[in-house]
Amino acid sequence: MKKSNILKPPVEVFYEEELKALEQNDKELKPKNWRLSPKAVKTFILGSSRNIEYNDGKKIKINKKFYGDDSLIERCIITLAGNRGLMLVGEPGTAKTMLSELLSAAISGTSTNTVQGTAGTTEDMIKYSWNYAMLLGTGPTKEALVPSPLYVGMNRGIITRFEELTRCPAEVQDSLISIVSDKVLNIPELGDEGLLFAEPGFNIIATANTRDKGVNEMSSALKRRFNFETIFPISDVSLEAKIIEQEVEKLVKESGIKVKIDRDVVNILATTFHELREGVSAQGSRIDKPAAVMSTAEAVSVCYQTAMTSYYFEKSEMRVDSMVQNILGTVVKESRDDIDKLKNYFNIIIKSKSLKEGGLWKEFYEARKWIK
């Protein structure tokens, strides 16, 4: 699998060189069937201050991929090493999925053994189903069985990622209880051969949005079988701006376009998202928070769209007026009533900044004409 031929390469492909370098230099103790030791997994996610040598002298830097609570990463790794399920919860756009992908790629060598939870997810989508043509001809046999992600994870001793677990019906969620605790999958159709015992290395990383609370609440029995880790939104505006800039530069490079990411524009975007998300300005003024998710991931999308607009339509540097149009698209996702909240934010907070700072802030304020 070549990175250049894939629109969105899996983590293990995108960071293939980093993973190889860490694996070659990894002399630490590791749990059975883990690709990297816990220390190397942490280095892969949080980065290294020095270059790592591999392949007879070639050097590579391990870049930081997750920004937040570093101790959370250690806890996640220890949870997985201890064979307890890991549940990552938090607001949408806080990098829960990305973290689960990074952990899976570093531990199991693959991040694609995944269940996407929805209201329509059924047990056969997560455990196993049948090739019905073979089933009619030969009856229930292992050859007629079609493995789903949980079966694959248990059989190969790798991590199964379960996205949006709380979007699934309660009966589907509860079917995980015995698997997470006993590490065995019962296939009654196969009779005496119908017990699949998990290989070492198997585990589950699940994610859930706090905004989905109450959709399909997890049972107490299932909760007890997971360690919960909450990922909070980034509270440092300068750090959020740095992440936005890095991620958009990566996306621009992958798209093969040439456009300069204006750091000053990114700083305005990060400030705007932070203030709308927190409901308070840098000066302490209260702001009506929109219902929409004003996450870092959404800010990256807005910035990338603005860069693409400047490249394909304007043939110029990034412009704040096109950024305002893209911000509007984010704000109205939940309710068009939030347009008034955005207008008030511009008429009070951004107006004050434009009078005080001038320059881009003034241009940003004048671009409020697009909010309608």
* Residue 93 pLDDT: 87
| Tokens encoding 205 | 């990383």
pLDDT by position in tens, the chain (length 372): 666 677 788 999 999 999 999 999 999 999 999 999 999 999 999 999 889 888 778 899 999 999 988 999 999 999 999 989 999 999 888 999 999 999 999 999 999 999 999 999 999 999 999 999 999 888 899 999 999 999 999 999 999 999 999 999 999 999 999 899 999 999 999 988 889 999 999 999 999 988 766 567 889 999 999 999 999 999 899 999 999 999 999 899 888 888 889 999 999 999 999 999 999 998 899 999 999 889 999 999 999 999 999 999 877 788 898 999 999 999 998 888 899 999 999 999 999 999 999 999 999 999 999 998
pTM of the predicted protein model = 0.90
Q: How many angstroms separate the Cα of 165 from the Cα of each of 98, 198, 366?
A: 16, 21, 43
* Sign of the Cα pseudo-torsion (194, 197, 201, 204, in order): positive
- Residue 160: what are its φ and ψ, rounded to 5°? -105, 125
Q: Residue 32 has what DSSP assignment?
A: T
* Residue 7 pLDDT: 79
Q: Residue 227 has what DSSP assignment?
A: E
> Can you say how many angstroms the Cα of residue 254 is from the centroid of all Cα atoms in its chain?
18
> Can you say how many angstroms the Cα of residue 277 is from the centroid of all Cα atoms in its chain?
19
Helix H or strand E segment including 67: none
* Rg of the Cα atoms in the chain: 24
| Tokens encoding 347 | 């008429």
Helix H or strand E segment including 128: strand 128-130
Which of 48, 26, 36 shows the shortest CA–CA distance to 109?
Answer: 36
Contacts of 200 (CB under 8 A, 6+ apart): 31, 32, 33, 157
* Residue 271 pLDDT: 96
Pairing of strands 203-209, 85-90: parallel
Which of 101, 98, 81 shows the shortest CA–CA distance to 90?
Answer: 98
